[in-house]
C-alpha cells in the first residue's frame, strides 16, 4: 500500500512536532507499506531518511498565499496522487481534497475553528480580513470532512466541539490521542524532582513551551510573574518559547500589551524569551525546569503538557476541558484569565515539594500509559488499513 502524508502546512508548534515524529517513526521501522511525505522545505534535513520505503519531498507551497495553497491541494496534489498510484491520502492539517481519487483520512487538529470561546472573545476583536479568513477556512474544513472517509481528532474534547459544528457519523469519527516519543523525555523522569522547601535563594524555574498567539495566553502568565515579583513572595524565573516580537505579520490582539508586560521593570529581569527551539533540544528545557505552566485558552491536544508529563515535570494548567482530559491528576489547575489565581498556585507549588513530587510521578505514569507515540502510530495504521480494505 502507498500512503501519502500531506504535511505542507506544518510550519510551527504541534503540527511540526507531529509530522516530524511520524516521519522519524516510519524511517526507523520495517513496513510492507511505502510512505511519501510532502513537508515544508527545511524539515527534510531533520529526518534524513535512509529507509527505501520512506520518501520525504520538500515544498514551499505551505508558505504561499491561501488561494495558491488551495489550487495545489485540489489540482497539483490530485495529479500526484494519480501519478504515484496512492492508496490512502493523510491530510494532516484540517484541509483535504474534494472528490479525492483515493481514500482520504483527515486530521482535524485546529480547535480554534470550533471554539465558542475563541469566536466570542478573540476573533471578535480582530480585523475583518482575519474574520473573513476564519470563516472561509472553517467552511473549507467542513467541505473537506464531507469528502473524507475518516476524520481523526486528538481528543474527546475536540470531537465534542467538532460535533457541535458539523454532525459526523460515529463510524467516520475517530479519537486517536497524539503522543510523544517517550525515550526522548524519560531520562528526565529517572531523577526524582526535588525542590528545597522555602529556599528563597534559588528561583523557582518556570517553563512555558508554546507558539505565540492570543489563545496561548502569554498575557496572563506575564501578569502572574509581575504579581509575584511585585509582592516579593516568590523568587521566580520564566523561560518561554512564546515571543511577542515573533511573527510580526501575524495578527495578535494582545501583542502590544504582551510587549509592554515583557519590558516592564518587574518582569524583564525574570523572563527569557527563546523563540522556537529545535525539537532535538526541547527535552533539555524540561530537564532544567521546576514547573511547567500551560495557560492556553483553547487547544485540540497540547503536545507540551504530554512532554512535561513524560519528563516528570509537574504541571500547572488552565482549568479548561482539554487540559482536564489530557492531564487528569497530573496537574494543578488555575482559572485561565485570572493572573492572581495563577500567581497563588505558583506560590502554593513552590512551597509544597511533596505535591510537586506527586504530580511528577502521576504525570510520568500517565504519559507511559496513554501517550506513547508508538501507540498513536499503531492506531493510525489500523485506521488506514481498515479504510483501505473496505473501499
Percent of the chain, pLDDT > 90?
A: 67
Q: Which residue has the higher pLDDT, 305 or 70?
A: 305
Residue 191's pLDDT is 46
Q: Cα(334)–Cα(330) distance, rounded to whole angstroms?
A: 14
Q: What is the pLDDT of residues 26-56, one digit of tens each?
A: 888 888 889 999 988 877 777 766 778 888 8
| 99 φ/ψ sector (left φ>0, alpha ψ -120 to 50, else beta) | left
CATH number of the domain that 350 lies in? Answer: 3.40.50.2000
| Same domain, residue pair 65 and 109 | yes
Please state, rounded to an integer, the average pLDDT across all residues of the chain: 89
| Same domain, residue pair 136 and 65 | yes
CA-closest candidate to residue 257, choices 150, 125, 361: 125
Residue 285's pLDDT is 93
Q: Cα(75)–Cα(80) distance, rounded to whole angstroms?
A: 9
Residue 46's pLDDT is 72
Q: What is the pLDDT of residues 247-259, one digit of tens each?
A: 888 899 999 999 9
Q: Cα(171)–Cα(296) distance, rounded to whole angstroms?
A: 31
SS3 assignment, position 123: helix
Span 341-361, mean pLDDT? Answer: 95
Instruction: Flag the least confident range among 70-74, 270-274, 305-309.
Output: 70-74
Contact 91, 144 (CB under 8 A): yes
Contact 177, 301 (CB under 8 A): yes
- Quick one: pLDDT band at residue 192, thresholds 50, 70, 90? very low
Residue 187's pLDDT is 62
- Quick one: pLDDT band at residue 312, thresholds 50, 70, 90? very high
| Same domain, residue pair 46 and 135 | yes
Instruction: Give the length of the chain.
Output: 391
| Same domain, residue pair 50 and 103 | yes
CA-closest candidate to residue 142, choices 103, 114, 176: 114
Residue 49's pLDDT is 65
H or E element: which one contains 131?
helix 128-146
Residue 247's pLDDT is 83
Residue 18's pLDDT is 84
Q: Cα(92)–Cα(8) distance, rounded to whole angstroms?
A: 9
| Same domain, residue pair 8 and 82 | yes
Q: Is the pTM of this model over 0.85?
A: yes
| Same domain, residue pair 365 and 380 | no
Determine the straight-line distance between the first and last CA of the chain, rounded to whole angstroms.
13
Q: What is the pLDDT of residues 352-365, one digit of tens each?
A: 999 999 999 999 99
Residue 244 in this model has a pLDDT that exceeds 90: yes
Residue 188's pLDDT is 53
Q: Cα(224)–Cα(338) distance, rounded to whole angstroms?
A: 9
Question: How many Cβ atoms sit within 10 Å of the Cβ of residue 88?
Answer: 24
Residue 200's pLDDT is 56
| Same domain, residue pair 158 and 246 | no
| Same domain, residue pair 221 and 364 | yes
Residue 198's pLDDT is 46
44 CB-contact burial (10 Å; exposed 0-12 / middle 13-18 / buried 19+): middle
Compute the Cα dihedral for 217, 111, 22, 9 and give only its sign: negative
* Structural domains of the chain, count: 2
Contact 159, 175 (CB under 8 A): yes
Contact 220, 339 (CB under 8 A): yes
Cell of 60: 514551499
Residue 190 in this model has a pLDDT that exceeds 90: no
Residues whose CB is less than 8 angstroms from the CB of residue 219 and which lie 6 or more positions away in sequence, other chains included: 254, 257, 258, 261
- Quick one: pLDDT band at residue 233, thresholds 50, 70, 90? confident
Instruction: Flag the least confident range among 67-76, 186-195, 232-241.
Output: 186-195
Residue 206 in this model has a pLDDT that exceeds 90: yes
Contact 210, 241 (CB under 8 A): yes
| Same domain, residue pair 39 and 86 | yes
In b/e form, how buried is each residue of 196-212, taking b as 16+ CB within 10 angstroms?
Answer: eeeeeeeebebbbbbbb
CA-closest candidate to residue 355, choices 316, 300, 297, 325: 316
Cell of 63: 508558505
DSSP state string for 361-376? HHHHHHHHHH-BHHHH
| Same domain, residue pair 332 and 380 | no
| Same domain, residue pair 102 and 120 | yes
Which DSSP category does 180 fall into? B
Q: Can you give the residue range of the structural domain that contains 148?
A: 2-179+372-389
Q: Which residue has the higher pLDDT, 108 or 30?
A: 108
Compute the Cα dihedral for 243, 244, 246, 251 and give only its sign: positive
| Same domain, residue pair 36 and 151 | yes
337 CB-contact burial (10 Å; exposed 0-12 / middle 13-18 / buried 19+): middle
Q: Cα(287)–Cα(195) distance, rounded to whole angstroms?
A: 13
Instruction: Flag the least confident range among 110-114, 134-138, 246-250.
Output: 246-250
Residue 239 in this model has a pLDDT that exceeds 80: yes
Amino acid at each position: 500500500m502507498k500512503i501519502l502524508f500531506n504535511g505542507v502546512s506544518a510550519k510551527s508548534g504541534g503540527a511540526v512536532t507531529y509530522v516530524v515524529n511520524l516521519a522519524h517513526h516510519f524511517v526507523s521501522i520495517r513496513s510492507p507499506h511505502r510512505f511519501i511525505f510532502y513537508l515544508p522545505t527545511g524539515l527534510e534535513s531533520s529526518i534524513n531518511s535512509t529507509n527505501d520505503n520512506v520518501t520525504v519531498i520538500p515544498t514551499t507551497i505551505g508558505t504561499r498565499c491561501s488561494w495558491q495553497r488551495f489550487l495545489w491541494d485540489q489540482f497539483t496534489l490530485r495529479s500526484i496522487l494519480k501519478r504515484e498510484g496512492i492508496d490512502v491520502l493523510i491530510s494532516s492539517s484540517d484541509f483535504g481534497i474534494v472528490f479525492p481519487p483515493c481514500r482520504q483520512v483527515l486530521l482535524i487538529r485546529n480547535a480554534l475553528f470550533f471554539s465558542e470561546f475563541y469566536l466570542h472573545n478573540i476573533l471578535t476583536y480582530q480585523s475583518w480580513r482575519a474574520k473573513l479568513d476564519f470563516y472561509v477556512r472553517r467552511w473549507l474544513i467542513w467541505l473537506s470532512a464531507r469528502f473524507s472517509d475518516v476524520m481523526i481528532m486528538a481528543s474527546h474534547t475536540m470531537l465534542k466541539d467538532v460535533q457541535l459544528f458539523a454532525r459526523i457519523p460515529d463510524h467516520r469519527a475517530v479519537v486517536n490521542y497524539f503522543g510523544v516519543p517517550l525515550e526522548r523525555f524519560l531520562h528526565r523522569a529517572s531523577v526524582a524532582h526535588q525542590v528545597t522547601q522555602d529556599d528563597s535563594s534559588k528561583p523557582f524555574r518556570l517553563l512555558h513551551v508554546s507558539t505565540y498567539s492570543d489563545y496561548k495566553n502569554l498575557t496572563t502568565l506575564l501578569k502572574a510573574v509581575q504579581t509575584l515579583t511585585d509582592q516579593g513572595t516568590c523568587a521566580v524565573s520564566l523561560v518561554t518559547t512564546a515571543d511577542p516580537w515573533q511573527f510580526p505579520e501575524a495578527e495578535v490582539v494582545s501583542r502590544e500589551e504582551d510587549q509592554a508586560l515583557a519590558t516592564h521593570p518587574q518582569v524583564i529581569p525574570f523572563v527569557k524569551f527563546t523563540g522556537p527551539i529545535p525539537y532535538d533540544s526541547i527535552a533539555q528545557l524540561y530537564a532544567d525546569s521546576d514547573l511547567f505552566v500551560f495557560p492556553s485558552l483553547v487547544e485540540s491536544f497540547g503536545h507540551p503538557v504530554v512532554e512535561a508529563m513524560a519528563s516528570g515535570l509537574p504541571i500547572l494548567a488552565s482549568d479548561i476541558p482539554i487540559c482536564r482530559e489530557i492531564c487528569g491528576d497530573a496537574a494543578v489547575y488555575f482559572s485561565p484569565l485570572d493572573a492572581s489565581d495563577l500567581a497563588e498556585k505558583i506560590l502554593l507549588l513552590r512551597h509544597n515539594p511533596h505535591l510537586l513530587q506527586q504530580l511528577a510521578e502521576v504525570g510520568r505514569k500517565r504519559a507511559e500509559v496513554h501517550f506513547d507515540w508508538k501507540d498513536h502510530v499503531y492506531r493510525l495504521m489500523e485506521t488506514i488499513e481498515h479504510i483501505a480494505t473496505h473501499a
